[in-house]
Structure 1
Amino acid sequence: MRVLCTAVPGSGLFLPTVPLVWALLAAGHEVLLLNNGDGARAAAGAGLPVVDPLPERDLWAEFVAAVAGMIKDGQMTKAGVARKPDRGGFAWFGEQMIDGMLPVARAFRPDLVITTAEQAAGRLLAADLGVPLVEQGIRLGWAGLDEHVVSSRREAAEYLEPTRRRLGLPDVPVNPVASIDVRPPSMGGLATDTQFLMRYVPYNESRVVPAWVTQPPTRPRVCVTLGSVLPALGGVGALKAVLADLSTMDVEVLLALGDIDISELEPLPANVHALGWMPLGALMPTCATIVHHGGSATVATPLVHGVPQVSLPKFADQPMNAKLMADRGVGLTVSEPEEVAAALAQVLEQPKFRDTAAEVRDEIAAQPSPAEVVGRLAELV
């Protein structure tokens, strides 16, 4: 089977797709990825065959810069979310990439196209090639035929309709022939004939992990992270007060903020270790809890390891992910940095959070592996 895979180049929107591609390759299938900029480089770093259809541009950097400009200009909703451009959202990536994608896809001649909901160009590619389209869910908030993702597909299809007509591509139904849902059932995951449950397997790129991080700590170890987007938007300063509060607690803090300048947080408290960009999956086995921004992959990774959480969500789907986590009883969500330390103390002291996190961990482990899902995909072809 020949499989063409694509996603939006943002790390949180692409990296969760990597384990399924590994499973396809391990099963002997031929796979090609289409991605751009850092997304393409991350795919190559993961050992995957990848083509950048627009190598002269970095679309994710352009997108983040546009969002940062909107925030600076005060173009925010009452909910604190940057307003979308008049034409755009994530469908913009498909519009920009499709002309470069088509010739590569036609030459590759896949039997199946796998895309994420955010990368709407996948629908156009499948239509042009006349092959089944499978949508790979990467979020905790929605998947499959959930109302939000169905309406998002329709909006993306409408956005790309002028592009489809310009390229003379055939039209196809908005919904894919099948979808993959990585949510545990107790948090919305649903298995049907066309919606395949799959175990979430964390992947946050590879780095050399310091040996001491793998060793059991002498006091509770707390990971603090803000993902990849928030630091790029200048959202690191809020952590200064958080770290100051955590310095008064008997904990060890692992600060994972990526490869960015953290000088505004210095001097760091004595109990804080700055690790730069580090795969969360490598940190979780020795952590008692994690403090984060509520990104989907950042919530899902500690769920896999049974680690309780404290979330300080800001925008996009972060509040939804944080609420799902808190409603399940795995941790707490707060609205202000000053509330983090008290919530963290509560999560560390009350066994119910650890017990519930362990329940969800076992639930995720019981879901079908990516290797099992590959067999379902082959049946579609």
Structure 2
Amino acid sequence: MRALFLPGNSPATIYTHAALATAVRNAGHEVFMGGIEWVLPDITAVGLPAVRISPLALEDVMAFMAGMPTDPEGAARAAGRVYAEIAVDGLKPLLETAEHWRPDVVVGNPMFYGAPLLAHHLGVPTVLQEWDRGDASIYHPGALEVLRPVLDDLGLDGLPEPDLRIDVGPPSLRPDGAPGARPMRFVPANPQRAVEPWMYGRGDRPRVAITGGSRVFQGDTLHALAEGVAALGVEVVVAAPEPVAEGLRARIPEVRAGWIPLDVLAPTCDVIVHHGGGATDMTAIASGVPQLIAIQDVSAVEMRRLAEAGAGIMLEEDRQRPEDIVDGCRALLSSPGYRERAQELAAENAAQPHPGELVGAIEELVGG
């Protein structure tokens, strides 16, 4: 069996599909993973062959991010249009790839529209794996503005439904009315580095990890946040790109900062502070760590559901100053109920079928 994975346009989507793609490969099947230019190093970093479907580089993505609307609805519509444009532009190179390496099944995520389009062209099954707890339907209105002519040419009223849908979210956090799906355990993955004992070992103080780096926490805001959290008497670890980390270490030497594999670090943490990113959220859930969501965008609904479940705190838009984040960390550290609820979610995740158990379902689609 040949399986082509088309997870999406960011490193996070690559990492969240890596476990299933690796499981399929370990079962003896051929696996390729496609992506835009920006994510090709991330695909190879998780040990998979990378297929280039678009020349879009990091600079192009950052330019798009800088021009996105600030309201969640507008941001989702704009993102949907761009995802659809990438899907349409990437269809030709994908069909050219299929001339030499024809997949028997295409695996994507619900907001990467190239997967069902390619599968329809080739007449092969489609598998959609949710990459986080987000509701991808928020992107569809913008996407359909771009996809409508393509769907009309194919004689389709809408996007083809998947033959198999896989959900990685804990069952208790699934919203009412969510599409039927096969559950799968979320297994974190990310590029690795040589680990040091402090990364996987606990010290004598609670540990708070701050992620987001140059995307959301930067400059004086990041410095004030790190200093404020450190004043709680905890160890502070900042997962950030090296240019950001270098300046932070120079100003606050006691703070550990740099590129740190989150799947290694997360189980040692007592709180993870982040911007509402799906991969960080799911890694924290899998590790049983309370979350403080300090900046949220289109993921606000999902992050609020986690907070309402008692596994974290989501700060509202007018309460996202460094001092507000410090207060949130203090509350999470001082109230054991957050940790207990986070560990219950981790147990839910661990009880779901691991990726290797889903390989048979994919094989049945192809064989049937």
Q: Same fold (TM over 0.5)?
A: yes
Structure-2 change in CA distance of 1:172 and 1:33 (3 Å): farther
Q: Percent identity over the alignment?
A: 31
Please point out which of 213, 216, 233 is paired with 2:199: 213
Give yes or no for contact 2:81–2:145 (8 Å, CA) kept in 1.
no
Please point out which of 45, 61, 64 is paired with 2:62: 64
Is 2:287 aligned against 1:305?
yes
Number of aligned positions between the proteins: 361
Task: State the shift of 1:173 in Å.
Answer: 5.6
Structure-2 change in CA distance of 1:177 and 1:349 (3 Å): same
Q: Higher helix fraction: Structure 1 or Structure 2?
A: 2
Please point out which of 306, 309, 323 is paired with 2:304: 323
Q: Tell me, what secondary structure is at the counterpart of 1:31?
A: strand
Task: State the shift of 1:320 in Å.
Answer: 2.6
Query: What residue in structure 2 maps to residue 374 of structure 1?
Result: 359
Partners of 2:178 and 2:76 in 1: how far apart?
Answer: 35
TM-score by length of 1: 0.86
Partners of 1:59 and 1:200 in 2: how far apart?
Answer: 28
State the AA in 2 paired with 1:313. Answer: I
State the AA in 2 paired with 1:368. Answer: P
Give yes or no for contact 1:296–1:321 (8 Å, CA) kept in 2.
no
Equivalent residue runs for 1:132-171 within 5 Å: 132-142=125-135, 149=137, 152-153=139-140, 156-163=143-150, 171=156
Task: Note the alpha carbon deviations across 1:60-115, whole angstroms, 9 max, x for none.
Answer: 531321221x26xxx533x6965855982321221232221111023222211111
Q: Tell me, what secondary structure is at the counterpart of 2:107?
A: strand
TM-score by length of 2: 0.88
Equivalent residue runs for 1:57-136 within 5 Å: 57-68=55-66, 70=67, 75-77=69-71, 82=75, 84-85=77-78, 88-136=81-129
The answer for unaligned runs of 5 or more in structure 2 is: none
Query: What residue in structure 1 maps to residue 231 of structure 2?
Result: 248
Structure-2 change in CA distance of 1:59 and 1:345 (3 Å): same
Task: Note the alpha carbon deviations across 1:245-293, whole angstroms, 9 max, x for none.
Answer: 123211000110123334664643354111x222211001221221111
Partners of 1:272 and 1:19 in 2: how far apart?
Answer: 32
Partners of 2:82 and 2:240 in 1: how far apart?
Answer: 26
State the AA in 1 paired with 2:64. Answer: A
Aligned CA-pair RMSD: 2.8
Query: What residue in structure 2 maps to residue 182 of structure 1?
Result: 168
Give yes or no for contact 1:288–1:348 (8 Å, CA) kept in 2.
yes
Q: Tell me, what secondary structure is at the counterpart of 2:238?
A: strand
Give yes or no for contact 1:76–1:83 (8 Å, CA) kept in 2.
no
Please point out which of 230, 235, 242 is paired with 1:259: 242
Structure-2 change in CA distance of 1:259 and 1:91 (3 Å): farther
Query: What residue in structure 2 maps to residue 223 of structure 1?
Result: 209
The answer for unaligned runs of 5 or more in structure 1 is: 143-147
Structure 1 stretches (4+) deviating beyond 6 angstroms?
Answer: 189-193
Task: State the shift of 1:244 in Å.
Answer: 2.3
Give yes or no for contact 2:289–2:339 (8 Å, CA) kept in 1.
yes
